[in-house]
Structure 1
Amino acid sequence: ILLIQSGDFYGNRGGGYEFNDARDCQLTLYDKIVTISAGWTSDTLDYVTFLYSNKRSMQRGRQTYRYSPYTSEFVLNPDESINRVTIYTNTRLIDNPFAPNGTFLVVGLRFYTDKERSSELFGSSNGTQMDESFSNFTLAYIRGNALGYIDALQFIWYRKISPSSAATLLTN
């Protein structure tokens, strides 16, 4: 039995196009994150890509022809899962005619595993820092909004529980 926990939305849900990796990558209950890659400039996260065990992935952000001078990937070991995320958000002056005074974005991410490893900082820590984790939950996938940048992210978490610890309803 799987328990699902939706995290908070970080960033600006009004920007970019909505995405959902569960739908877009055709995830099943058995798929898990195997690699996270990202590209960024000195102060802004340009894109993030999650590769799942079903060999599917979708790049989120950088839907324009822009160079990301910094790139990295975080490869999980087969017995490893993400159990905490640090998110940085802030306003950036980007090419956006709807927000001439700046656009609120996700500017940085760092991932932590249940095996005491962490990714490098993808993007910038120049912003408001928020940490998200849920006791005994594992990161399942992401959803949010993106176009040229990562406008908003929500992390979807799961926890496996045994049938014996789930409540049952007896019927006659």
Structure 2
Amino acid sequence: MQAADQGNATDLDGRDLVIGIVRARFNDAITSRMAEVCHAELLALGVQPKHVTTITVPGALEVPIALKAMADQDDYDALVAIGCIIRGETYHFELVSNESGAGVTRVSLDHQVPIANAILTVENEAQALARVEDKARDAARVAVEMANLMDDLL
């Protein structure tokens, strides 16, 4: 067992990684921008364009099943979930937020593949727009860092 603390070293070298992105189409203006920013950050971290696959699903509840299909292929070092859930007047917000989050986590744990969860859960469109750039960039960085960490651990 190594005595080194691997938690202090951030490995953001994406040169040898294959990353999959699943984007929910619901709230398209927000999620399409998030996908663009995430993709650009992945390329900036060295991931080759041919090693980034983006698929689109109708909404946040469909994200986990698409992530599972990608994880089943065993071709991806990490995945990214992109979506935007804006609170409405009914309980539906909580249902979609909770179930999509639980689904993303389940796929990650079941397949031992890191998934950066960039599904925004916000009160209104203004909050979503304020978070698009940072959340998408962070998701790319989390995907690369965790893929490298898992490679070291497994």
Larger Rg over CA atoms: 1
Same fold (TM over 0.5): no
How high is the TM-score relative to the length of structure 1?
A: 0.23
How high is the TM-score relative to the length of structure 2?
A: 0.25
Bigger share in helix:
2
